[in-house]
């Protein structure tokens, strides 16, 4: 497995540049990190500006992955305007199994335009290509219909439903998805 993961930025898609975060991204990030609808099914709290600033600081170390357990966290920049409209993540979750875990979040005003798919597909391509992963998984709250639809569109398969998982103070049903390198198109 080639480590570290140090993709050449930007990773270009049709409409997006995926790249490392910079301090200048704070106001764009705050727009969606502070949105209760966006963070409803992700582990982050609804963030204040200071909490977003702190989260952004941590992302500087997440522009590369040096070992198992770390997340690669890339800003989703809309090339046309330069605005950061989301983030896409890939964790090196299991070195022995050559497995990664996908994550994503998009600004509410930019959803349902295919941008989540474009960013997530590019991250899967990086994971299976440059990083040599065999499998990429995703875990979500079973109520998160948007995320399930995106994973379906990516060709990922539902592998498990795990009931009664603690999440933000309640017990929820959790869905697990996976895709192998052979099935990725």
Contact criterion met (CB below 8 Å) for 76 and 88: yes
Closest approach of ligand COA to the CB of residue 152, in Å: 7
Q: How far is the CB of 41 from ligand COA (least distance, A)?
A: 4
Given the complex with ligand COA, which of 2 and 163 has the nearer CB atom?
163
By DSSP bridging, strand 135-141 and strand 99-106 are parallel
Q: In whole angstroms, how close is the CB of 46 to ligand COA at the nearest point?
A: 12
Minimal distance, residue 113 CB to ligand COA, in Å:
5
Nearest residue relative to ligand COA (C-beta): 116
How many CA atoms does the CB half-sphere of 28 hold within 13 Å? 19
> Which residues of this protein are in contact with ligand COA, per CB under 6 A?
38, 41-42, 104-106, 111-117, 140, 144-147, 149-150, 153
The residue (of 37 and 60) whose beta carbon lies closer to ligand COA is 37
Q: Could you tell me where the beta strands, DSSP code E, fall in the chain?
A: 11-12, 16-19, 71-78, 84-94, 99-106, 135-141, 157-167, 170-180
Nearer to ligand COA by Cβ, of 113 and 168: the residue is 113
Contact indicator for 94, 140 with CB cutoff of 8 Å? no
Find the Cα–Cα–Cα–Cα dihedral 76, 6, 63, 145, rounded to 10°: 50
Residue 1 or 146: the one with the smaller Cβ distance to ligand COA is: 146
């Amino acid at each position: 497995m080639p480590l570290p993961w140090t993709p050449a930025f930007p990773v270009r898609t049709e409409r997006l540049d995926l790249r490392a975060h910079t301090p200048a991204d704070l106001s764009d990030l705050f727009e969606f990190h502070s949105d209760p609808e966006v963070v409803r099914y992700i582990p982050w709290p609804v963030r204040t500006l200071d909490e977003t600033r702190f989260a952004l600081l941590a992302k500087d170390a997440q522009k590369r992955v040096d070992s198992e357990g770390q997340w690669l966290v890339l800003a989703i920049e809309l090339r046309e305007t330069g605005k950061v409209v989301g983030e896409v993540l890939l964790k090196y979750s299991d070195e022995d199994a050559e497995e990664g875990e996908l994550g994503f979040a998009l600004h509410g005003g930019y959803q349902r335009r295919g941008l989540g798919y474009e960013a997530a597909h590019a991250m899967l391509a990086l994971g299976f290509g440059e990083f040599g992963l065999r499998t990429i998984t995703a875990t979500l709250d079973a109520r998160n219909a948007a995320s399930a639809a995106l994973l379906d569109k990516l060709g990922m398969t539902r592998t498990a439903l795990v009931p009664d998982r603690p999440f933000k103070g309640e017990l929820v049903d959790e869905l697990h998805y996976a895709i192998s390198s052979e099935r990725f198109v």
